[in-house]
A and B are shown apart, each in its own frame.
Chain A
Amino acid sequence: MDTTTSNVIVKRIVENIGYDRRHLIRILQEIQREYGYLPRETLEEVSRILHIPLSDVLTVATFYHQFTLESPGLFTIWVCMGTACHLKGNAENYDYLRTILGLKEGEKTTKDKLFTVEKARCFGCCSLAPVIVVTGPGIRDLYGYVTPRDINKIIAKYRSLGLKKLKER
């Protein structure tokens, strides 16, 4: 990663929000919006310009679920782990999704960098349980009453969409 550019971006974000410890979470949220994750270099820069020990920045960055330290795939598939979704079979959906994407234990993102699979907290759409949400560039699609069969279709849909997008790049 080019640290000069990332330093400029971090500085701009911090200037907009304010040089104050209390804004740390918001600053990290903005950085994640920019990059899709929290690159190590940006955290070091935040620590330097806010005069907070890097360990403190990392504490916050690893404590809250919103933050991720690894670069995610093009699409993130959020499998809801709420109670209603659990009772209606989302744990099976989750395992199935990981199996067909070929994810091994400890892995979250596929090798082709197309999909990241995450467990999500309740989306508050319990009437549609089980629910999965797919996010990506300009995308936030919610699917209700999901079965393994639907998952095959969903994966196929985003795989072709994703390959198209990667080609455009």
Chain B
Amino acid sequence: MSSWTLLDRCCNTCWHSIDYPCRNYIRCRIEGPLCHDVSECRDKRLRRLKEIKYGKYGFKIKVPMASCTIAAGSKEVYKAVIDEVKSRGIRADISITGCMGLCFIDPWIELIKEGMPPAIYANVKPEDIPKIINEYLNGSVSSAFALRHRTGKAKDEDKVPLLEEIPAWGKQVRWVSRNCGIVNPESLEEYIAYGGYRGLERALKMKPEEVIEEVKKAGLRGRGGAGFPTWLKWKICRDQVSDVKYVIANADEGDPGAFMNRLLAESDPFRIIEGLTIAAYAIGAKQGFIFVRVEKPLMAERLSKAVEEARKYGLLGDNILGKGFSFNIEVILSAGAFVCGEETAMIAAIEGRTSPRQRPPYPATKGLWGKPTIINNVETLAHVSLILAEGWKEFAKYGTEKSKGTKMFCVTGAVKYTGAYEVPIGTTIKTLVEEIAGGVKEGRKIKAVQIGGPSGGCIPADLLDIPIDYHTLQSAGAIMGSGGIVVIDDTSCMVDVARYFTAFTVVESCGKCIPCRVGMKILYDIMTRITEGKGTEEDLEILEKLGNIVKNASLCALGGTAPNPILSTLRYFKDEYLAHIRDKKCPAKVCRKLIEYVIDESKCIGCGTCYRICSASAITKTPQGKYRIDPKKCIRCGQCYSTCPVNAIYKR
């Protein structure tokens, strides 16, 4: 488009260019013009800001384009919106946006018209589009899922809840994820219009030491898992004497069940880049890297695009904002290895090698190519940009005495409303799981929550009142980790869950140190034995003893936390282990070697659906016209169980 954007000069009085950047460039975009008082230039900005909000013609349609919404069908919805707008000649701006984190309403769209309440429609199908647009343009919002705010001008407005009135949204504190699902993630202009880059502008007017002090006052701790104070890492690195230093953004999100980093990077990538630039300024680095997981291609694409955009407008490169600070970012695609989330393994991957190494020396003193390096999680960096923009007090308002601020959590598994939610640290697990995510489905009982992925542990239902912070979780046998919370109900077997995580770490162990490589394999074999009904009570002692050995003797954090799922389930769910060992029974009827599929002949209607679908030919017809499963031939795929029209098949 050729029309004027906020990023351009307003008139010839403005002398800003990439070669001679103005140090007030960012603030001037929104509040300006700062250097000359011309109402025309001021109006130009206001007009453009309004355009960003409502579109050029006063009507804007937003369609989310993140991996999760695309998987749920938002690409087709996007196409349907374009077709509808074109064929009916509606004057509207169609814009992409990121993901709000409310997975259960995917794919959604938002319609915003001046004077009308911004309305969000949930679980939209392409064929619904004409109806939705029609209704909204006719001044009604009756079929909307929620409204961002009310205007009192639309029909049926009071019948639709506000977004805040929905617990899944209203009980959150959207601090770092505030832009997700609102801005266009590919537009630097929109990011700045919504307050972006104010943090960097402020940081560059401070001394690097003052930036570190600000982060220290905020009390920000690493959001990647271990919770190390961010300022301390920076200070150690700042104090190193070296002409070359590096900063790395850890976007190698590998925990199964965690997707908050992906969501953030796909929905608000500039915030991460801004945070990384501030970190580089604070420690004195000129080169940065963003290490992205190869399995999450859209995340890499968005970050790469954002880096290019920032470079185009002088927010990366030489003499950023006229303060003489130069910085560049390279996006690196990981080749997929869970251990790369560990600092030294990530450094090895960037160098083109493999495996973690012994620490100390810590990367802050000796990191990438032997130079002082800091590695921060992308969520940490996003917090940094906001702390600098709004001041440490705004951040420290939330959280507990020892752990300040908010944290994003992904709640998945057996809950009603799967999603990525941001809450203050110290919120109880109960609030998060039962109030925000809606609890488990009707008729089920929550058994445990698994926090922290393969390095975390399982916390039983009766401990759900504990607040989520670094200390309490650790003493309960779990860790905060990156923030993945998997809710487990009574249809899951805890021994099987622990075995699953052990299988994960066995595959992901890099093999460098013996405790992790051999120890985990032995643990896995024992777990398999137990789930097959061949375990002994002595096995439980070995699990505990060996688990602690692996924990204490492993080289890196992967091995150091890998036995947690076993140790925590042993601590809280020993009775389930004993049921497998003594009674050879799986109480939740999950472990396949310990169950049998049986047809209840009194319920069977003899339709033969199971017979036709069985791929192991294990089902035969009885002389009475019913069917029967031969347990010797049955491979326990559960196919008949899920297709029987009268639920005559049960597990024993």
Pair count A-B, CB < 8 A: 150
Contact of B295 among A96, A123, A149 (CB under 8 A): A123
The interface size of chain A toward B, counting residues with CB under 8 Å, comes to 46
Please encode chain B, from 327 to 346, with 1 for each CB lying within 8 Å of some chain A CB and 0 for all others: 00000111111100000000
**B295 engages A121 (CB within 8 Å):** yes
B122: chain A residues at CB < 8 Å are none
- For A60, the chain B residues whose CB sits under 8 A away are 335, 352-354
Residues on A with C-beta less than 8 A from B410 are 126
- B258 close to chain A: CB less than 8 A: yes
B14 at the binding interface (Cβ < 8 Å): no
Is B419 positioned at the interface, with any CB of A under 8 Å from its CB?
A: yes
Query: Does the CB pair A125–B68 fall under 8 Å?
Result: yes
Docked-complex contact A121 and B338, CB < 8 angstroms: yes
Residue in contact with A59 in the complex, picked from B262, B354, B642, CB distance below 8 Å: B354
Nearest CB in chain B: distance from A116 CB, A: 16
Q: Which of A11-59 contact B (CB under 8 A)?
A: 20-26, 28-29, 59
Please tell me which one of the listed residues B336, B355, B419 contacts residue A121 in the complex, with CB atoms under 8 A apart. Answer: B336
Q: Which of A66, A82, A83, A96 contacts B637 (CB 8 A)?
A: A96
With A126-B418, A128-B72 known, 11 other A-B pairs at CB within 8 A are A29-B335, A60-B353, A64-B349, A96-B637, A99-B615, A124-B67, A124-B68, A127-B68, A131-B71, A144-B72, A149-B639
Q: Does A67 contact B (CB under 8 A)?
A: yes
Residue of B104, B504, B616 with most chain A CB atoms under a 10 A cut-off: B504
Q: Are A82 and B335 touching (Cβ within 8 A)?
A: no
Please give the residue numbers on chain A whose beta carbons come within 8 Å of chain B beta carbons, in ascending order. Answer: 20-26, 28-29, 59-60, 63-67, 81-87, 89, 91-92, 95-96, 99-100, 120-129, 131, 142, 144, 147-149
- Check if B500 sits within 8 Å of A86, measured CB to CB: yes
Contact of A83 among B104, B334, B453, B635 (CB under 8 A): B453
Q: Are A96 and B615 in contact, with the CB atoms below 8 A? A: yes
* A23–B333 alpha-carbon span in the complex (Å): 11
Name the distance in Å between A105's Cβ and chain B's nearest Cβ.
14
Complex contacts, A59 vs chain B, CB 8 Å? 353-354
Q: Does B492 contact A (CB under 8 A)?
A: yes
A83 and B335 contact, CB distance less than 8 A: no
Contact B336 A125 (CB under 8 A): no
The reply to whether B484 and A83 form a contact with Cβ atoms under 8 Å apart is yes
Judge if B630 is at the interface, Cβ distance under 8 Å: no
A87, chain B: closest CB distance, angstroms: 5
The answer for the CA separation of A126 and B496 in the assembled complex, in Å, is 19
Q: Is the CB of A99 within 8 A of B635?
A: yes
In the complex the two chains form, is A122's CB within 8 Å of B639's CB?
no
In the assembled complex, B375 has its CB within 8 A of some CB on chain A: no
Instruction: Name the residue of chain B whose CB is nearest to the CB of A151.
Output: B639
| 11 A-B contact pairs sorted by A residue (CB < 8 Å) | A25-B349, A60-B352, A63-B355, A64-B335, A64-B337, A82-B257, A123-B295, A126-B412, A126-B418, A148-B639, A149-B613
Given A60-B353, A84-B412, decide whether A125 and B67 contact each other with a Cβ distance below 8 A: yes
B315 beta carbon closer than 8 Å to chain A:
no
Nearest A-chain residue to B511, judged by Cβ = A63
> What chain A residues lie within 8 Å of B353 (beta carbons)?
59-60
**One of A22, A66, A81, A84 near B486 (C-beta < 8 A):** A84
Residue contact A25 to B335, C-beta cutoff 8 Å: yes
CB distance from A113 to the nearest CB of B (A): 22
Asked if B201 is at the interface of the complex by the 8 Å CB criterion, the answer is no
CB contacts (< 8 Å) of A87 on chain B: these are 413-414, 486, 488, 492, 497
Query: Nearest residue in B to A142 (C-beta to C-beta)?
Result: B71
Q: Please determine whether A66 and B294 come into contact, CB atoms closer than 8 angstroms.
A: yes
Please encode chain B, from 594 to 620, with 1 for each CB lying within 8 Å of some chain A CB and 0 for all others: 000000000000000000010110000
Minimal Cβ-Cβ distance residue in B for A140: B297
| Beta-carbon nearest neighbor of B493 in chain A | A87
> Which residues of chain B in 347-367 are interfacial with respect to chain A, using CB atoms and an 8 Å cutoff?
349-355
Separation of A148 and B609 alpha carbons in the complex (Å): 14
A125 touches B256 (CB 8 A): no
Residues of B within 8 Å of A147, CB to CB, are 639, 642
Residue of B nearest to A24 (CB): B352
Find the A residue at minimum CB distance from B299.
A124
Report which residue of A20, A95, A124, A149 has the largest number of chain B beta carbons within 10 angstroms of its beta carbon: A124
Closest chain B residue, CB of each to CB of A52? B352
CA distance A66 to B254 in the complex (A): 13
Q: Which of B296, B336, B500 contacts A66 (CB 8 A)?
A: B336
Q: How far is the CA of A125 from the CA of B70 in the complex (A)?
A: 10
Closest Cβ of chain A to B489, distance in Å, is: 9
Alpha-carbon separation in the docked complex, A24 to B355 (Å): 15
B336, A21: Cβ atoms under 8 Å? no
Closest chain A residue to B253, Cβ basis? A124
> Closest CB of chain B to A16's CB: distance in Å?
15
CA distance A85 to B638 in the complex (A): 16
- What residues on B are CB-neighbors of A149 within 8 Å? 613, 639, 642-643
**Chain A residues with CB under 8 A of B501:** 83
Known: A126-B259, A127-B68. A28 touches B335 (CB 8 A): yes
Give bound CA distance, A144 to B486, whole Å: 18
B255 is an interface residue with CB less than 8 A from chain A: yes
Asked if B377 is an interface residue, CB under 8 A from chain A, the answer is: no
- Give 8 nearest A-B pairs by CB, closest first: A64-B335, A127-B103, A82-B256, A124-B259, A24-B352, A127-B418, A126-B412, A65-B336
CB contacts (< 8 Å) of B354 on chain A: these are: 59-60, 63-64
Determine whether B510 belongs to the interface, using a CB cutoff of 8 Å to chain A: yes
B412 x A129 contact (CB < 8 A):
yes
Question: A67 and B104 in contact (CB under 8 A), knowing A87-B492, A122-B257?
Answer: no
Contact of B71 among A82, A85, A125 (CB under 8 A): A125
Chain A residues with Cβ below 8 Å from B412 are 83-84, 126-127, 129
| Shortest beta-carbon distance from A129 to chain B in Å | 7
A148 and B639 alpha carbons, distance in the complex (Å): 6
A100 to B617, CA, bound (A): 12
CB distance from B506 to the nearest CB of A (A): 12
CA distance A28 to B294 in the complex (A): 13
Contacts of A96 in B (CB 8 A): 615, 635, 637, 639
